[in-house]
Chain A
């Protein structure tokens, strides 16, 4: 049992072949006669009795059969492309194509994002290297500070000139200097 929207595929196939054979004029041939030998179809009327190759369709007949077959195919294709089944498949194809496009764009975007940032291990290494540099700089600054203090004490001037501003550092023009926020590892 089928509804108009659930047509049996065999019906469409049967209808196509019936149409094709009808267009080829097979119905005009006597029952049991070979294809293309019907009186209306023969390109050599009257010659079939004398022609030893009369069983064979002529090129013209083949061409006519071909044309009839294509006519039937064109008509079936037109009918099919208007059918609810085809329209439904168009809808699905478009949905699939747009979804695939969306997923591809998402994939490209994610990959691009990953490509822009360093991988986890490299990040840790970079951070460790920066921390190491910071430690060495801080240690060097401590050494310099100690050196200055010792020289200041030796010359009897007390604290070195710039160490007074180490907590409220100011530039010669009065603008605040960037403050060192820590020494060594914070973590």
Chain B
């Protein structure tokens, strides 16, 4: 029988060896899908610990990237007994770095942490014009739109994107979060986003609060 609390703790401590061993033993005992879902939830709870420790300055960016990878590996182990992907999805995010900005480290960290937390993430990539955000939102009808940027001019592109969502009549169907170095409370208001963050872990927490 898998000790879910111990699994959560091991994920929080980023103890890869321990996590994979526990899941291997778990799988060897022919778990039900429900049990596997619980294991996924336990891993996701572990990711919350990782996010908290990052906020406290205990973990560093490398640890966050590793955490995302660890969770992907953990879920891969569980996949054979997990049903459809949808069952473990808590919400959907369309994500991208806005037009004119080529940075993706922060975006990718947010992506892996959001996926780890149970979100289905559609990652558009970097330097994405407003039209691409609009098209993807139309297509997948997400709960959340996440825009990332490091340059100051990204703020302008973020505003253009929100305006384009408004023009397409999609703004009210989604929550909008912006992230990256230049974002501030003022910028957030001016852009017309619902939330802002300079911290991937905090951003995921905000998104979790929305779904």
Instruction: Say if A and B assemble together.
Output: no
